[in-house]
């Protein structure tokens, strides 16, 4: 019988496959999510470069160029033919050009650095903006010097005008230098940011490749895992095909703690049940055929045997006391006729299952009476008996005569297993579910496993003159009561026969209406 392979807590195939593909989905979702974040970061860096760093670099370059133009105009201010026109240019540069230029620089610095969520980058932006404001304030001092320059030009004080010009040019060169340094610092920071962006890009590519490989590996592993989970199903299918071809040999149950394992265990149980049913069907058909033959043959020979027995008795009465040899021959004939009559009766017992007459009986008392009846017969053959009966045994509905016949058969079978004498133990005890167990154990040489497997088959015997019907009739009686009989090795080395009679109310299948063979 296949054992139940399903544990108390089992993981279903659907759950395991779902978890497998959920893990695959999670791995690819992680890969896709990281790819999206990387692309968003790269897009943000590109947008910042386009709208922040590049305009800032161009704006600072324009500021440096504007300062160059300022210095160039100053170099030619004292030799200009019309200083008034120059004065207008410088005033426009002071009031409009420079404030606008530095305002744009600060705005670009804010856009490129200070708007970043990275505090380090924002701090750099604030430092650059402070420097740009310092340069703007430094250049605001040019306003008073320009007034003095143009005042000297208006009064014709050329030396004083040249002094103020040289002073303004020196300041302009210093301002240009500071603007150039600011531009260089911005370019340096931009280079750092670009290098960081490139490093992040390289890291993102490596991580993306790693995650892609990880997702692929997880997918392959989960596919293999799903294949392993479902592989037992193929074994069950192959087993079903083998059974369909008629192979009912017992097979190990597929080891799987899920529905497939449960299906395999159930399927093996079904195969075992089919095998048992087939064996019972074959045995029943064989027994029915043998029964019909036995009934027919027995019917044909019983009447002649009866006539022969009667004639032998009459002949025995006619013989005188001096005819001893003829009397001995007559007794031998009578014994053989009696043996044939008993044998025919045994065949009829197999062919015609006797109807059970069930009554409430004390099984212990029934077994005691059977033991007492057969004890003397066993003692003549040097076999001692031991009887053990539990107290308070349940009362069962049994056929007393047939149950005694089963006990006789087992006790005589035990006697024949010990030709040199020995001990037979007969035990009656409470069984499972309010039933009763009857055990007969001998001290014989035992029975090998192959012989035990066929003991209850009709006409199977290991005895030279046996009919092979005693144990078959015994099993028929026990199963007629709804019980079961088993044969196993005894601890003493002999053989133990165990009968179980159920405690529940039982109606025999061979009751009124059963067709006789």
User: pLDDT by residue for the chain (517 residues), tens digit each?
Assistant: 444 444 444 556 667 667 777 777 777 777 777 777 777 776 766 776 776 677 777 878 888 888 888 888 888 787 777 777 778 888 888 888 888 888 888 887 787 777 767 677 778 778 888 888 888 888 888 888 888 888 888 888 888 888 888 888 888 888 888 888 888 887 887 787 778 777 777 777 787 787 778 778 877 877 777 777 677 677 777 777 877 777 767 666 656 666 666 777 777 777 777 777 776 676 666 666 666 666 666 666 766 767 777 777 777 777 766 677 777 777 777 777 776 776 666 666 655 556 778 888 888 899 999 899 888 888 888 899 999 998 888 888 888 888 888 898 888 888 888 888 889 999 999 888 888 999 999 988 888 888 877 777 776 676 655 566 778 888 888 888 888 999 999 888 889 999 999 986 444 444 433 333 3
CA dist 127 to 90, 111, 120, Å? Answer: 29, 14, 11
Residue with tokens 């305002």: 103
Measured CA to CA, the distance from residue 438 to residue 432 in angstroms comes to 12
3-state per-residue secondary structure call for 216-238: HHHHHHHHHHHHHHHHHHHHHHH
Please tell me what DSSP assigns to residue 3.
Answer: P
What are the tokens at 48? 């910042």
Q: What would the pLDDT profile of 75-112 be if each residue is shown by its tens digit?
A: 878 777 777 777 888 888 888 888 888 888 888 778 77
Model pTM above 0.85: no
What phi and psi, each to the nearest 5 degrees, are found at residue 435?
-95, -175
> Read out DSSP for 150-201?
HHHHHHT-HHHHHHHHHHHHHHHHHHHHHHHHHHHHHHHHHHHHHHHHHHHH
CB atoms within 10 A of CB 379: 13
Fold designation for 355-517: Heat Shock Protein 90 (3.30.565)
Which region holds residue 513: left if phi is over 0, alpha if psi is between -120 and 50, else beta? Answer: left
CATH of 261-352, one of 3.30.565, 3.30.1490, 3.30.1330, 1.10.287: 1.10.287
């Amino acid at each position: 019988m296949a054992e139940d392979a399903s544990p108390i807590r089992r993981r279903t195939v659907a759950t395991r496959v779902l978890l497998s593909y959920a893990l695959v989905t999670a791995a690819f979702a992680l890969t896709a999510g990281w790819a999206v974040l990387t692309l968003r970061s790269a897009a943000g860096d590109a947008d910042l470069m386009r709208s922040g760093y590049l305009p800032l670099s161009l704006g600072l370059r324009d500021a440096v160029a504007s300062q160059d133009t300022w210095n160039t105009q100053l170099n030619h201010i004292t030799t200009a033919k019309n200083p008034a026109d120059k004065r207008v240019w410088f005033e426009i540069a002071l009031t409009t050009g420079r404030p606008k230029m530095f305002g744009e620089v600060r705005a670009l610095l804010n856009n490129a650095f200070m708007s970043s969520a990275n505090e380090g980058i924002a701090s750099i932006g604030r430092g650059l903006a402070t420097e740009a404001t310092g340069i703007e304030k430094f250049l605001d001092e040019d306003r008073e010097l320009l007034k003095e320059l143009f005042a000297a030009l208006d009064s014709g004080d050329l030396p004083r005008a040249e002094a103020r010009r040289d002073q303004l040019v020196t300041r302009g060169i210093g301002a240009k230098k500071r603007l150039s340094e600011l531009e260089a610092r911005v370019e340096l920071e931009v280079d750092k940011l670009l290098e960081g962006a490139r490093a992040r890009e390289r890291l993102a590519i490596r991580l993306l490749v790693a995650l892609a490989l990880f997702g692929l590996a997880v997918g392959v592993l989960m596919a293999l895992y799903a294949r392993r989970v479902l592989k037992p199903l193929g074994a069950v299918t192959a087993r079903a095909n083998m059974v369909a071809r008629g192979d009912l040999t017992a097979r190990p149950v597929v080891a799987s703690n899920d529905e497939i394992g449960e299906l395999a265990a159930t399927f093996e149980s079904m195969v075992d049940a089919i095998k048992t049913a087939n064996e019972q069907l074959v045995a029943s058909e064989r027994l029915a055929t043998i029964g019909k033959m036995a009934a027919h043959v027995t019917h044909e020979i019983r009447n002649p045997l009866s006539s022969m027995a009667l004639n032998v008795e009459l002949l025995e009465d006619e013989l005188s006391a001096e005819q001893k040899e003829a009397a001995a021959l007559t007794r031998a004939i009578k014994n053989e006729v009696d043996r044939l009559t008993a044998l025919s009766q045994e065949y009829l017992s197999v062919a015609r299952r006797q109807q059970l007459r069930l009554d409430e009986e004390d099984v212990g008392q029934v077994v005691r009476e059977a033991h007492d009846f057969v004890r003397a017969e066993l003692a003549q053959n040097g076999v001692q008996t031991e009887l053990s009966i539990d107290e308070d045994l349940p009362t069962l509905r049994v056929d007393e005569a047939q149950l005694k016949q089963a006990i006789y058969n087992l006790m005589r079978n035990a006697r024949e297993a010990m030709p040199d004498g020995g001990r037979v133990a007969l035990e009656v005890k409470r069984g499972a579910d309010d039933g009763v167990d009857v055990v007969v154990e001998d001290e014989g040489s035992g029975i090998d496993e192959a012989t035990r497997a066929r003991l209850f088959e009709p006409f199977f015997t290991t005895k030279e003159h046996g009919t092979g019907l005693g144990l078959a009739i015994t099993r028929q009686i026990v199963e007629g009561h709804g019980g079961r009989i088993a044969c196993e090795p005894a601890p003493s080395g002999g053989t133990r026969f165990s009968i179980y009679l159920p405690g529940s109310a039982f109606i025999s299948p061979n009751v009124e209406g059963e067709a006789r063979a």
